[in-house]
């Protein structure tokens, strides 16, 4: 730090080094003038990996994807003004999913605030509603002790990770800077560093926040419903000998755990024998909220004891039925007498056998079959991530029990269920993991995030962006608004008539446009072998996808009707 050219750079170089010591490995820098001291400090750090994003919204979602994939905070650097507001959507998702994120935004000094100065807005508290913590840093000066800079970065990191007495999420550190913004030489008192001599002579952080130790929870007779959860909790449920109803985003969905929605479709149709067979003695709700509305409704209808694990902020109890909640980290342990729930075990096996056969028999390439064929093609690679768009893609994968293969992970932005920033988030997963990523996004989601195709050009690992193009918002056809013809098509499905293949080509990305199921599988295999980003556009009609879903669901319902007479 002794070679810092000025006091602004001294502060930001301390911050960059401390972030590295705390475990940060990725930094997303968005161009700007006021943020130059931050950008230069992080860009010149010899060990940090810096990604450049021209758009702050896309950059924020890329940083979010990095953090979700790695489990460690990433840093987002951006300038002052409306740039800061563009971080809000990603910060909302970070808060709702407790994902650690450090947002370092530059700001004007006090004398340039609220006086008509250019690009100065009241930004210090602009993101407070979505942030876990906000700190408005003073302008760098040797009048403020160096340990203040280090301990503030330490506190920001701890709060982002959930190691400061609350849940994790995004933290906004608002940095005020006076000139010089560039790394120009201006004399400063190097004696300012004497108070942190122990830090300058070591490689350890100034202050370490200890992670809370997980508690062991014995499960004696409960059915576990699993959403996305911390890695340690999820690891304790691998090979679970009891009954686990796994959401598609939990990375626990597979044979015997996925398919609850198919089962409940049959149960809600009047099959009393099946409905009675599914009654649990107790429920343990683990992790974030699940995708399936039917599963939520079934949980709320149960009269047994219910404990929610991973609750806190945000709470996960939409039915307001929980007897107890536990917000701390846990590891589940199966009690000696725990056995699989007979009804659920039998029902899931029956439903998924029938649905898999029905899905395999479908001839047309549509949304569900594209997801099924692309997911199956992933089995040729040992590790990777399947990223699900927040609209129909994740619903199709969840209710049709199309689970990632083997050691592939699942991810999604389901905290706020937004469709913005999905391409950028998938890019973040690819950067952080260094492994293949297959992302399913709808066409409206792709439109929301077209600018992030530029971010996708910088990915080296295989990133397969599968755009399911049904020319509009197909999910609205399942909602009551679909009955109002005068406004439905123009204001809700919003057909756009665009093809994404030429758009992707204009960014220099590889493109595939399969027309059949066999071609779809070959396109994914080819993209996984190619490396870099490939956009696979699947053009299909909403009606074809709806008919496919209906036939597969009907097969499962009929099989369950025969099984549970």
Beta bridge partners of 325: 308
- Note the pLDDT of residue 389: 96
**If you average pLDDT over residues 522-542, what whole number do you get?**
96
Q: Kindly report, residue by residue over 104-134, the tens digit of the pLDDT.
A: 999 999 998 989 888 889 999 999 999 999 9
- Note the pLDDT of residue 487: 73
Q: Mean pLDDT lowest for which of 254-263, 319-328, 369-378, 405-414? A: 319-328
What are the C-alpha distances in Å from 142 to residues 139, 191, 200, 384, 441?
10, 9, 17, 47, 50
What are the C-alpha distances in Å from 251 to residues 226, 260, 411?
9, 15, 8
**Strand ordering across the sheet containing 510-512:** 409-412, 385-388, 437-442, 463-469, 533-539, 510-512
**Strand ordering across the sheet containing 282-286:** 244-246, 223-226, 282-286, 305-309, 324-326
170 closest CA partner among 63, 22, 80: 63
How many CB atoms are closer than 10 A to CB 184? 11
* Average per-residue pLDDT for the chain: 94
Dihedrals φ, ψ of 48, to 5°?
A: -80, 145
Provide the terminal-to-terminal Cα distance of the chain, rounded to the nearest Å. 75
* 413 vs 60: CA distance, rounded Å: 13
- Note the pLDDT of residue 318: 80
What are the C-alpha distances in Å from 180 to residues 30, 32, 37, 119, 121?
19, 14, 9, 17, 20
- Note the pLDDT of residue 550: 96
How much of the chain exceeds pLDDT 90, in percent?
Answer: 87
Beta bridge partners of 209: none
With b for 16 or more beta-carbon neighbours within 10 A and e for fewer, the 515-524 pattern comes to: eebeebbebb
* 359 vs 339: CA distance, rounded Å: 31
Specify the pairing of strand 215-219 against strand 26-29. unpaired
214 pLDDT above the threshold of 80: yes
Orientation angle between helical segments 392-399 and 542-563, nearest 10 degrees: 20
* 176 vs 135: CA distance, rounded Å: 11
DSSP assignment string, 491-528: III------HHHHHHHTT-EEE---SHHHHHHHHHHHH
How much of the chain exceeds pLDDT 70, in percent?
Answer: 98
- Note the pLDDT of residue 321: 87
489 pLDDT above the threshold of 90: no
- Give me the domains of the chain, ranges plus CATH numbers: 7-200 (3.40.50.970), 215-349 (3.40.50.1220), 365-539 (3.40.50.970)
Confidence category of residue 565, pLDDT binned at 50, 70, 90? confident
- Note the pLDDT of residue 474: 63
Backbone angle region of 435, left / alpha / beta, with phi > 0 → left and psi within -120 to 50 → alpha: beta
Q: Kindly report, residue by residue over 243-294, the tens digit of the pLDDT.
A: 999 999 999 999 999 999 999 999 988 889 999 999 999 999 999 999 999 9
* 377 vs 521: CA distance, rounded Å: 6
Confidence category of residue 316, pLDDT binned at 50, 70, 90? confident
Radius of gyration of the chain (CA): 25
- Note the pLDDT of residue 269: 81
**If you average pLDDT over residues 63-85, what whole number do you get?**
97
Is the Cα dihedral 190, 191, 196, 197 positive or negative? positive
* 111 vs 122: CA distance, rounded Å: 13
Q: Hey, which of 86-95, 160-169, 482-491 has the most confident mean pLDDT?
A: 86-95
- Note the pLDDT of residue 302: 94
Q: Kindly report, residue by residue over 138-159, the tens digit of the pLDDT.
A: 999 999 999 999 999 999 999 9
What are the C-alpha distances in Å from 474 to residues 245, 338, 383, 470?
27, 43, 31, 7
* 423 vs 449: CA distance, rounded Å: 6
What are the C-alpha distances in Å from 120 to residues 87, 175, 422?
17, 13, 30
- Note the pLDDT of residue 476: 63
Q: Kindly report, residue by residue over 427-478, the tens digit of the pLDDT.
A: 999 999 999 999 999 999 999 999 999 999 999 999 999 999 998 766 666 6
* 259 vs 279: CA distance, rounded Å: 16
């Amino acid at each position: 730090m002794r070679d810092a050219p000025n006091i602004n750079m001294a502060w930001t170089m301390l911050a960059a080094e401390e972030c590295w010591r705390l475990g940060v490995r990725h930094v997303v820098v968005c161009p700007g003038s006021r943020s130059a001291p931050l950008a230069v400090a992080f860009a010149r750090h010899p060990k940090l990996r810096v990604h450049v994003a021209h758009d702050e919204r896309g950059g924020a979602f890329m940083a979010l994807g990095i953090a979700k994939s790695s489990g460690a905070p990433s840093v987002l650097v951006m300038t002052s003004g409306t740039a800061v507001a563009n971080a809000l959507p990603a910060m909302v998702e970070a808060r709702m999913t407790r994902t650690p994120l450090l947002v370092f935004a530059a700001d004007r000094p006090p004398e340039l605030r609220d006086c008509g100065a250019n690009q100065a807005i009241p930004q210090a508290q602009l993101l407070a509603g979505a942030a876990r913590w906000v700190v408005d840093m003073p302008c760098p000066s040797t009048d403020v002790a160096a340990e203040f800079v280090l301990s503030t970065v330490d506190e920001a990191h701890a709060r982002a990770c959930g190691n400061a007495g609350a849940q994790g999420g995004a933290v906004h550190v608002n940095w005020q800077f006076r000139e010089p913004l560039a790394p120009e030489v201006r004399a400063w008192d190097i004696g300012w560093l004497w108070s942190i001599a122990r830090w300058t002579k070591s490689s350890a952080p100034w202050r370490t926040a200890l992670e809370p130790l997980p508690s062991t929870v014995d499960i004696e007779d409960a059915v576990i419903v699993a959403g996305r959860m911390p890695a340690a909790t999820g690891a304790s449920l691998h090979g679970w000998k009891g009954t686990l109803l796994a959401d598609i985003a939990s990375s626990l969905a597979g044979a015997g755990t996925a398919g609850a929605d198919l089962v409940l479709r049959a149960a809600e149709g009047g099959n009393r024998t099946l409905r009675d067979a599914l009654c649990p003695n107790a429920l343990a709700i683990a992790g974030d909220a699940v995708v399936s509305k039917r599963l939520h409704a079934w949980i709320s209808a149960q009269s047994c004891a219910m404990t929610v694990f991973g609750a806190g902020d945000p709470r996960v109890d939409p039915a307001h039925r929980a007897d107890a909640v536990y917000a701390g980290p846990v590891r589940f342990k199966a009690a000696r007498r725990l056995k699989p729930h007979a009804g659920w075990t039998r029902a899931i096996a029956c439903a998924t056998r029938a649905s898999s056969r029905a899905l395999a028999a479908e001839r047309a390439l549509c949304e569900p079959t594209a997801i099924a064929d692309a997911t199956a093609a992933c089995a040729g690679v040992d590790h990777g991530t399947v990223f699900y768009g927040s609209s129909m893609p994740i619903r199709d994968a969840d209710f049709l029990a199309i689970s990632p293969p083997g050691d592939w992970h699942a991810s999604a932005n389901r905290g706020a269920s937004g469709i913005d920033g999905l391409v950028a988030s998938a890019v973040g997963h690819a950067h952080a993991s260094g492994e293949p990523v297959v992302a399913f996004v709808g066409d409206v989601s792709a439109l929301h995030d077209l600018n992030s195709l530029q971010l996708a050009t910088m990915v080296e690992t295989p990133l397969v962006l599968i755009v399911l193009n049904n020319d509009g918002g197909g999910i609205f056809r399942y909602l009551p608004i679909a009955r109002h013809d005068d406004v439905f098509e123009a204001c809700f499905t919003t057909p756009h008539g665009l093809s994404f293949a030429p758009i992707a080509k204009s960014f220099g990305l590889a493109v595939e446009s399969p027309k059949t199921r066999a071609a779809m599988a070959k396109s994914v295999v080819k993209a996984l072998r190619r490396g870099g980003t490939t956009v696979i556009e699947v053009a299909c009609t909403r009606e074809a996808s709806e008919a496919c879903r209906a036939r597969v669901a009907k097969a499962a319902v009929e099989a369950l009707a025969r099984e549970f007479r």
